[in-house]
Amino acid sequence: MPSVSVDSDPLDESRRLVRAQRARVTVPRVRVLAELLAAGRALTHQEVQRCVEASADSEHIDRVTLYRVLEWLVEAGLAHRVAGPDRVFRFSAQRTAVGAHGHFRCTRCARMYCMTESAGMGRLVGSILPEGFTSEAIELTVSGRCADCAAGPQPPG
């Protein structure tokens, strides 16, 4: 049964998710996943690094460790990767196995978000495929303004 825990502390949730993998619960793993969970969008290595460093209670996580942790999270199915238009990978937390889903890229702030409502998209793509074709993977990125930018002041010019 799908359940979404909205109010739980990202660190607690992160610890729970890492433990559920029967994996070693290390500080960097828990910390990095918690940042991804809290962000609610896809983050670059750099952005994750900045978030981790901004947390007062955290020990330093060097670049190499951060890379390894992100790779591990992807392998463990706790996060997935998506390349932005700049070809830089972003990482996004996933609480449960998510299937094919699209991404949204804001043309103003350049943030990327997962659009995890995937059932409708799968149906849509199925309905527009040529006769006899089947899809195995869907990579869809929608560009536009995110809610924050759409509501904010317009840029000059």
- Tell me the CB-side half-sphere exposure of residue 34, using CA atoms within 13 A: 21
Q: What is the helix (H) or strand (E) element at residue 125, kind and residue range? A: helix 119-128
Is 130:93 a contact under the CB 8 Å cutoff? no
Per CB under 5 A, which region of 24-32, 64-72, 127-135, 143-151 contacts Zn ion?
143-151
Question: Is position 115 an interface residue for Zn ion (rule: CB under 5 A)?
Answer: no
Q: Is 125 left (phi over 0), alpha (psi -120 to 50) or beta?
A: alpha
Q: How far is the CB of 62 from Zn ion (least distance, A)?
A: 26
32: Cβ–Cβ under 8 A, 6 or more apart, which residues?
48, 52, 61, 66, 69, 70, 73
Task: Tell me how far, at minimum, the Cβ of 80 lies from Zn ion, in Å.
Answer: 6
Q: Is 106 in the site for Zn ion (CB under 5 A)?
A: yes
Residue among 64 and 147 whose Cβ is closer to Zn ion: 147
Contact with Zn ion (CB under 5 A) among 23, 27, 88, 109: 109
Nearer to Zn ion, 23 or 150 (CB): 150
- Applying CB under 5 A, the residues found at the interface with Zn ion are 92, 106, 108-109, 114, 146, 149
